[in-house]
Structure 1
Amino acid sequence: MSLNKDRQFIQACQLADQGRFVESLNIFLDLEKNDPQEATLKLLIATSYFELKEYAQAMDITKKCLELSPNHHQAHHLLGNILRALKSPQDALKAYDEEIKISPNYPDVLNDKGILFFKLARDDEALESFEKAIRLDASYADPLHHKAIILKRRAQFEEAKTLLHKAIQLKKNFYEAFAELANLHLYLLEFKEGWEFYKTRFESELKGQKKFASIPAWTNKELQGKTIVLYDEQGIGDQILYGTILADVFLTNNNFIVITDPRLTSVFKRSFSKVKNTVFLGSDDEVDTSAIDYQLAIGDLGQLFRTSLNHFIIADHQYLIADRSRADAYKQKLDTGKINCGISWKSSRDTIGSDKSVALKEWLPILQLEGFHFIDLQHGDTFNERNTIQHERQIKITNIDELDKFNDIEGLLALIDACDIVITTSNVTAHFAGSLGKQTFLMVPFAKGRIWYWHNDMHHSIWYPTIKIFSQDKNEIWAPVVKNICNELQKFSKAPYLSQI
């Protein structure tokens, strides 16, 4: 009996299509016992192992498949995917090329080859692979999505939007493309469209993190007399960003329970101490849901209160208040008669952290300026970097050794508040400084690694009015940004002049 007519084989393929790879694998392995020389079974077993991230087994079985059938369709493709997952990019490219020789009209392998080129920052070659895949199959949504990402990096925004809209029409529930559309529309200040797509984040990167799902969502800001829970999502920086909307939220005639990261709860309580219709809780606190009428993730407040640029006219530039006694203590400790300048230079974000970071050695023109006392605001172990700068350049960057910058957010906010000015890359320090109304110079990438809320062609943040944005003119080139910041800083030699920034 041929495999295509075998009921067990058909069942296993159906399970694999449903993503139930443990079950499909067990059936394929049983079938293999009766037909150990069948290359197609080997390929499907290897594919199941690959989907289960058991790469060593996947590699072993794929090689056995190729021993049985050196030109087996999709086997070299799978080998390339395994090698890509094992971070062997050059070997992966060779495997993809072998598959293309065997199956030149196979768009899937061209798409995956393009993804690898993209990961290797070889964007021109990635674009060529995606375009070949699209020419072979104009209804293939994935390369349209990937091509759009590259065009977005090149500031070809309208064409990127067109490709993304086509991709979501072709592929049902294409949440990765929804996310790109959300970020692109928001980046371009197209808020109504952006917030609509942004709601799908709970189906992709935040899948499984939605809370209070049994309670209706708050969608009408004209409602009054209700009890509404606003819950935390994403990281601390995101919660602070969306926290800028809370002042408007509290003006509605409702009662609120606001849930935040536990490290932020005391900060919000102090900063909104005059608000009487709100309770602040940490995400580890119990919430009595019996009296709650509506719920909303804090990131969805934008669709109610920030649907046009006019909604970002903010009267008070500061909305969070640091612990005054700790800030005063730091000011005394840092007093050198110079301008206290807090600095933060890197991001630890998994996918784009390196694109947003600026090596400390590239800061040298800033760090060599006279009249400034530089303070380390960067979380993580920075001793070696600071020590190298001090040893090689005789530049001292002050660090408060006893401050845990990751867990003691109250202490970090107080230290930032004690600074006269902050210079930072795109990381959580920018949100802390902006929320405190601190004069801040923000270094952002041109496109690659740029977060949507540092909007296109904006030189000041619309979320934090005291943040001035210094953007790259070209991806990965930071020297002009550093030079422009130096020019701004050189206008100031004494603390009283800081109000001019």
Structure 2
Amino acid sequence: MSIDNLFKDAQIEANKGNIYNALLLLKNIWLKFPHNKRVFEEVIKLKNKNLIVLQTSLNQTLIDKYFKLHNEGKTEFVIEDLNKFYNKNKNDLYAVNLLGTFNGLINKFDLAIKFQQKSLYLNFFDQSNYLNLALTFIKCGHSEKALELLEIGRLINKKNTSINLELARLYFSLNKFSLSINVYENLLENNSDKLNINLEYIRTLIKGGESEKALTIIEKLQKNSLPNYKLSNLESLAHYYLNNFKMAQKCVDKALYLNEKNSDSYNIQGSIFEQSGQIDLAILNYKKSTYYNNKNYVAFSNLGVCLSYINEFELSVLNLKKAIEIKKSYFEASYRLGQIQIYTKNFSEGWKNFKYRWKTKDYNHKFLKTSKPILTNFKSKNRNILYWSEQGLGDQVMYGSMFNELSQLSSKVIIKLDERLIKVFKKKHPKIQFYANSDLINEDLYDEHIPFGDIGNYLRLKKEDFLKPNFPYINGKNSTKDFIIKKYKSSNTSLVGISWSSANYLLEKNKSLSLEQLYPILSNKNAVFISLEYKDHSKEMDEFFQKYKIKIFKEPSIDNFKDIEGLSSIIEACDYVITCSNTNAHLCGALNKKTYLLLAKGKGRLWNWSSNNGLSIWYPKIRIYQQEKIGDWTSPINRIKKEILNEKKIT
């Protein structure tokens, strides 16, 4: 639609008397065309045509008296008195406005919203109406409604400091960092001497991936001001995000020297210890952080996550819920809570909280762009549904355990996933239409859609639901499987698939092993080992052979990264598989192959590896061997070795 047509739509709404809708449309034009000056001309015209005559029976003396009474704890009396004015004149602007304010001050948010909305409709061009209602919506966790109001308020007066500041903060909390940075920079044009605005701006730069720029600004501010622990904390945070952990610690030490009781320093120090695997020290610092500031929702969230690493799940959940209680819009806490709840088999709550992943900073997957509605009702079968992938290859395989059920729940099922997986799923699911992620799917082909990560909220709500898949639900190629067996297997040995590294760049260090660490298992002379690795480990494999004369075979005709059908065929050929937590583990589970899973404790243990009596809840043929101590693989490796030796034949 052209910009002229957009302005016409706004004018039509204004002519109907729908002033708010007209302002909303003008706001959308401004966001889309930020340099268009006509937007502000239209706002001024709209304002001049809708001038109001102030109606009120209140004066400043009485208003001051009300606030004094509120400070004395007599807010209910104030509200009762204001209602008398309101009942006499429903359009008494000050009475309506103050009823919104005082109801909000005693947390009666429903009433606060009712009166603040009425105040807004009595005067669409008073920025304080937008600000007050937005702040109430933020307290209630309705961030998107608050965002709309603040953006309109800024359109009415883009120099209003209070609205700009709250808008910048809200953009920050919604992880819209570039927008937040832009608003802060506009604010600083007239408020460059305001340290608090500079501090918030620097924090936003760091979270928005501009730590180098943040450090430059910090250096300038430090030259022109006295030592400030808040600046030192931000300097530490910037170095932390640049992986300069020694400098981060040095800066946090300085901040603690300046103020030994400041909460943020302990939170940052906890993060430094957490990244180095020192979970006990991380927990200690997060606890100190919450002790010095019982409203530090980030510290409560970090503490909750770290407690889950040491299997303190009840305490973990309590701390994450505390973070959410303090700040409902801190979606990172809700997302982490969802993961832990799914892991601990609280599926109904877990899947609901898992949906908040889309609102977090670190969830880098893109939501599907479509005009079709999201699926919310699985009971109606007369629809065509598109289910689309959003996560890594292994997760897509895991969610594939529900594909057969999906094909029974609608007239047509369309699955969009990684192209490499189509061959292994297609034979087992002939009723499903598969498309690659790169394919553009005509919207006429489906009525509703849903991402893979939301399906569990309908189909995996109790432990018994995980028994529904028909295993195996993927397959390789028989001729390739036979070729591998003939080439590598002999009658007196087991053919064992081996995989020891993860491609997850955030958790690779925590989840992966080395061949050296696996020596106790690989020294088994009754086994032939074939690599399932999809990365090049030839150097490590050669060095291992030179040292121990143990050969790890790699089939040269199959690209384990590109050819998932070929890789699945190798797995099918194996008697059993030993793997860490990676895509191969999921393929083994889907193929119903007996598998020994080496699972990290702490950061490397992902939410989807919960178990029943040591067996994966998603894959009944995967037995899980978890570290007893974070970073130490000795115990799970020895347990696997012992179990293999105790079994004469593994099938």
Relative to the length of structure 2, the TM-score reads 0.69
Partner of 1:385: 540
Instruction: Give the letter aligned to residue 623 of structure 2.
Output: K
Alignment of 1:220-259 (within 5 A): 220-259=377-416
CA contact (8 A) 1:317 1:466 kept: no
Instruction: Give the letter aligned to residue 242 of structure 1.
Output: Y
CA distance in 2, matches of 1:31, 1:469: 57
Deviation at 1:138, TM superposition (A): 1.6
Matched, 1:137 2:293: yes
Matched, 1:307 2:461: yes
Relative to the length of structure 1, the TM-score reads 0.89
- Considering Cα pairs closer than 8 Å and 6+ residues apart, tell me whether 1 or 2 has the greater RCO: 1
CA contact (8 A) 2:398 2:618 kept: yes
Partner of 2:69: none
Partner of 1:151: 307
Q: Structure 1 residues 448, 458: closer, same or farther in 2, change over 3 A?
A: farther
Alignment of 1:24-103 (within 5 A): 24-25=184-185, 28=188, 50-103=206-259
**Which of 587, 590, 593 in structure 2 is aligned with 1:435?**
590
CA distance in 2, matches of 1:253, 1:197: 26
Matched, 1:294 2:438: no
Partner of 2:610: 455
Asked which structure has the greater CA Rg, the reply is: 2
Q: Deviations over 1:131-158 (max 9, x none)?
A: 2222222222111111111211121111
Partner of 1:400: 555
CA distance in 2, matches of 1:43, 1:202: 27
**Which of 429, 446, 449 in structure 2 is aligned with 1:272?**
429
Instruction: Give the letter aligned to residue 96 of structure 1.
Output: V
CA contact (8 A) 2:466 2:618 kept: yes
CA contact (8 A) 1:339 1:373 kept: yes
Matched, 1:209 2:366: yes
CA contact (8 A) 1:42 1:62 kept: no
**Which of 83, 106, 111 in structure 1 is aligned with 2:267?**
111
CA distance in 2, matches of 1:259, 1:77: 45
SS of residue paired to 2:530: strand
Let me know the Cα RMSD of the aligned residues: 2.6
CA contact (8 A) 1:12 1:27 kept: yes
Deviation at 1:31, TM superposition (A): 6.9
Q: Structure 1 residues 294, 478: closer, same or farther in 2, change over 3 A?
A: same
Alignment of 1:335-374 (within 5 A): 335-337=489-491, 338-374=493-529
Deviation at 1:366, TM superposition (A): 1.0
**Which of 305, 324, 334 in structure 1 is aligned with 2:478?**
324
CA contact (8 A) 1:151 1:157 kept: yes
CA distance in 2, matches of 1:251, 1:265: 19
Deviation at 1:253, TM superposition (A): 4.9
CA contact (8 A) 2:181 2:201 kept: no
SS of residue paired to 1:380: coil
SS of residue paired to 1:148: helix
Q: Structure 1 residues 43, 225: closer, same or farther in 2, change over 3 A?
A: closer
Deviation at 1:30, TM superposition (A): 8.0
CA distance in 2, matches of 1:45, 1:360: 47
| Aligned residues with identical type, % of pairs | 27
SS of residue paired to 1:74: helix
Instruction: Give the letter aligned to residue 484 of structure 1.
Output: R
Identify which range, 76-85 or 121-130, moves more after superposition: 121-130
CA contact (8 A) 1:49 1:55 kept: yes
Instruction: Give the letter aligned to residue 139 of structure 1.
Output: K
CA contact (8 A) 1:39 1:66 kept: no
SS of residue paired to 1:310: helix
CA contact (8 A) 1:212 1:295 kept: no
Instruction: Give the letter aligned to residue 134 of structure 1.
Output: T
CA contact (8 A) 1:42 1:64 kept: no
Q: Structure 1 residues 483, 272: closer, same or farther in 2, change over 3 A?
A: same
Work out the number of aligned pairs and report it.
483
Deviation at 1:314, TM superposition (A): 4.1
CA distance in 1, matches of 2:469, 2:162: 65
Identify which range, 477-486 or 457-466, moves more after superposition: 457-466
Q: Structure 1 residues 61, 322: closer, same or farther in 2, change over 3 A?
A: same
SS of residue paired to 1:81: helix
Q: Structure 1 residues 50, 95: closer, same or farther in 2, change over 3 A?
A: same
Instruction: Give the letter aligned to residue 219 of structure 2.
Output: K
Deviation at 1:27, TM superposition (A): 6.0
Partner of 2:336: 180
Q: Deviations over 1:50-104 (max 9, x none)?
A: 4553444432332232222241352212221222223222222221122223234
Q: Deviations over 1:286-325 (max 9, x none)?
A: 2121242221112222121111111122473311111222
CA distance in 2, matches of 1:229, 1:53: 34
CA distance in 2, matches of 1:482, 1:256: 42
Q: Structure 1 residues 40, 299: closer, same or farther in 2, change over 3 A?
A: closer
Q: Structure 1 residues 90, 241: closer, same or farther in 2, change over 3 A?
A: same
Q: Deviations over 1:232-286 (max 9, x none)?
A: 110111111011111222223521111111111122212213x3xx211111222
SS of residue paired to 2:250: helix
Instruction: Give the letter aligned to residue 349 of structure 1.
Output: N
Partner of 1:4: none
Give the gaps of 5 or more residues in structure 2: 1-158, 172-176
Partner of 1:412: 567
CA distance in 2, matches of 1:458, 1:174: 35
Instruction: Give the letter aligned to residue 335 of structure 1.
Output: K
Instruction: Give the letter aligned to residue 375 of structure 1.
Output: I
SS of residue paired to 1:257: strand
Partner of 1:3: none
CA contact (8 A) 1:45 1:61 kept: no
Instruction: Give the letter aligned to residue 416 of structure 1.
Output: I
Q: Structure 1 residues 219, 43: closer, same or farther in 2, change over 3 A?
A: closer
Instruction: Give the letter aligned to residue 261 of structure 1.
Output: D
CA distance in 2, matches of 1:438, 1:228: 31
CA distance in 2, matches of 1:426, 1:110: 32
CA contact (8 A) 2:575 2:594 kept: yes
Instruction: Give the letter aligned to residue 219 of structure 1.
Output: T
Give the gaps of 5 or more residues in structure 1: 1-6
CA distance in 1, matches of 2:577, 2:354: 30
Q: Structure 1 residues 48, 489: closer, same or farther in 2, change over 3 A?
A: closer
CA contact (8 A) 2:338 2:350 kept: yes
Q: Structure 1 residues 54, 451: closer, same or farther in 2, change over 3 A?
A: closer
SS of residue paired to 2:435: strand
Q: Structure 1 residues 364, 23: closer, same or farther in 2, change over 3 A?
A: same
Matched, 1:196 2:352: yes
